[in-house]
Chains A and B, each alone.
Chain A
């Protein structure tokens, strides 16, 4: 793929962490690029550095070396061109639903009238019209993630970064969120980087699926399937495709588990 047209480019990103047992290489020369309006799913065993990568993409953590380019210019810290949706909804419980969605708009000083219109527009988009005044503790897990999604979309980012946002939801809510995310994507044309450990989820959402190696993380193999949308986790073609990706990941999962054991072994 030509890098000229890329919305987001990850170039040889290296990141290591200091731990009690010395330095731990989390990402080892991770590279890929995402075209405008594309959904790329990163899938890999736990501890493969998926979340670390998203934190770096969001600008919350610096990479040790390598570059992140958005529209061909390197990022410096968090920016409004990228919004991150977390696994836990990370909503502010002291604010009502509408104030949560308006949070980012307030920071940039959007005038109140416009703010209100945007809040209404995005709550409507995620199917939560009528919940403006509700507080976070009154919402279910799925509703919380919708609010988080609306909050991220409200600042109108080009790139949506999603860190296992539906992992904590029950199966029904998750399936509904898959449908809604696909329809929101179709309506807004956002570029999305979606991280998950669930292969079928990656295939439901992704135009491309990048399978990641276990520690140190990098792209092991790229998959591109031509499946129609909207997709569901139970589609036969999808389940077949998932088997192929899973086979690729199987060694990695085993390797990750082996490493975890080695790493935790006393006296190692």
Chain B
């Protein structure tokens, strides 16, 4: 409760400082808009429908891109974690590729897929898939052997062992990979939309810059932060906490 009060208090202070700086007229408002005009832009964007449309487009892309990353990442991670040969061959490549910011794939994606939805999805997938893969591989590799032995004595083997034991046992690790993957995917999508003409929140940003509408730019940034944060707080964090608790991994507070 006190944490929250501190946080809210600090935000109010920040807004106050911002407003004071505006009142001092240090910079022209097209460079440094007031909190009020950003608020107005936010309201305007929502009431004239531009924000909801852009949000819809971006969310659709992230849903498809992230969904693909999830499927690919789980499969690849399972292979890396369980098949020695695949790990030896591919493990280094996956680790190396993770050092590459996914937006660097955009030129290549445009050459391969043209100026299309596919190019954007490719960048999003490249952003998210590696961290999901690595986390899954890690979780699968570290499945407590006792679970596998117990399952085998109960007659469980083959693909069933993976579905019913190895994957569930790795779920806490997989979830943190999914969380990380989500934030990479969201950043990649925004970067790709910024650089490449298409609907979506990223394009609203570059449009705002072209029109010198700084308060709109800031308003869109707020929307991007809000979406990124709420998915993390409303979906991933509770899911992660619940699994950690149930799996008995939560440290005793």
Contacts and interface: CB of A to CB of B under 8 A. Distances in A.
Interface of A: 55, 58-60, 78-80, 82-84, 86, 88, 90-94, 103-104, 107-108, 135-137, 151-152, 155
Contacts of A86: 146, 149-150
Candidate in B153, B165, B245, B246 with the most chain A CB atoms within 10 angstroms: B153
B180 interface: no
Which 7 A-B pairs give the minimum distances between C-beta atoms?
Answer: A104-B154, A90-B150, A94-B168, A84-B153, A137-B248, A107-B155, A90-B146
Contacts of B154: 83, 103-104, 107, 151-152, 155
Interface of B: 146-147, 149-156, 160, 164-165, 168-169, 171, 243, 245-248
Contacts of A155: 154-155
A60 B151 contact: no
Contacts of B248: 93, 136-137
A60 B169 CA distance: 20
B153 A78 contact: yes
A169 to B, nearest CB: 17
Contact of B246 (A55, A83, A90, A94): A94
Given A104-B154, A151-B154, A155-B155, A92 B149 contact: no
A60 B246 contact: no
Contacts of A91: 150
Contact of A82 (B153, B160, B171): B153
Given A78-B155, A107-B156, A136-B246, 7 more contacts: A83-B154, A84-B150, A86-B149, A90-B146, A93-B247, A137-B247, A152-B154
B146 A60 contact: no
A137 to B, nearest CB: 4
Given A88-B146, A92-B147, A135-B246, A83 B153 contact: yes
B152 A60 contact: yes
20 contacts: A58-B149, A79-B155, A82-B153, A83-B153, A84-B153, A86-B149, A93-B246, A93-B247, A93-B248, A103-B156, A103-B164, A104-B154, A104-B156, A107-B155, A107-B156, A107-B160, A137-B245, A151-B154, A152-B154, A155-B154
